[in-house]
């Protein structure tokens, strides 16, 4: 429903988030991540509500810490891209990105989920020094700790 024009998309997002249904949430953020039309066509209050609901529902990477799959990375990339799409501005998104890196990462594998956003959109220069250092620490420490994880090495090579 969110891929077409709907009334009150923020209520649909809230309902999906409240359901706790992980697959539904994954499908939703996949649709929202690049839906600039929706983000630009709704009132600022609805856009802000969607952003906040997504921001407060970070996807979890499960399983053994040494395992990092492309599905986990893709899910996290969609989450971060949805935050970018529904942010008030690029500056606001950079503030969120700094906060995520400094305060919300609970698993070093999450850094790989924000890797393409940081590297492909010139965010290394926009991040605070502390956030950039912490992000690089997560990436480098993970690769050093799990050198046989081909997904981590592959993602890190995409600069």
- CA 157 to the chain's CA centroid: 20
Query: In the structure, what pLDDT confidence band is assigned to residue 120 with cuts at 50, 70 and 90?
Result: confident
For residue 140, how many other CB atoms are within 10 A of its CB?
A: 13
User: Across residues 6-20, what is the average pLDDT?
Assistant: 85
122-139 tens-digit pLDDT? 788 899 999 999 999 999
155 burial (CB, 10 Å; 0-12 / 13-18 / 19+) is buried
User: Across residues 7-34, what is the average pLDDT?
Assistant: 89
Provide the mean pLDDT of the chain. 90
55-67 tens-digit pLDDT? 999 998 989 999 9
For the cut 90, the answer to whether the pLDDT of residue 29 exceeds it is yes
CA-based Rg of the chain, rounded to a whole angstrom?
16
User: Across residues 82-105, what is the average pLDDT?
Assistant: 95
Contact 142, 111 (CB under 8 A): yes
Q: What is the pLDDT of residue 124?
A: 82
Task: Give the residue ranges of DSSP H helices in 1-159.
Answer: 9-19, 22-32, 36-41, 44-55, 70-85, 90-99, 110-120, 129-145, 150-157
For the cut 80, the answer to whether the pLDDT of residue 50 exceeds it is yes
Of 102 and 122, the structure prediction assigns the larger pLDDT to 102
């Amino acid at each position: 429903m969110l891929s077409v024009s709907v009334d009150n998309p923020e209520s649909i997002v809230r309902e999906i988030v409240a359901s706790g249904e992980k697959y539904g949430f994954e499908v939703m953020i996949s649709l929202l991540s690049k839906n600039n039309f929706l983000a630009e066509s709704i009132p600022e209050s609805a856009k802000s509500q969607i952003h906040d609901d997504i921001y407060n529902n970070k996807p979890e990477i499960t399983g053994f810490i040494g395992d990092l799959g492309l599905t986990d990375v893709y899910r996290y990339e969609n989450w971060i891209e949805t935050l970018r799409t529904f942010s008030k501005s690029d500056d606001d998104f950079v503030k969120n990105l700094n906060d995520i890196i400094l305060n919300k990462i609970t698993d070093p594998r999450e850094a790989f989920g924000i890797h393409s956003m940081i590297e492909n959109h010139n965010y290394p220069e926009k991040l605070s020094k502390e956030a950039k250092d912490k992000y690089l620490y997560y990436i480098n420490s993970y690769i050093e700790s799990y050198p046989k994880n081909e997904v981590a090495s592959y993602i890190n090579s995409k600069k």
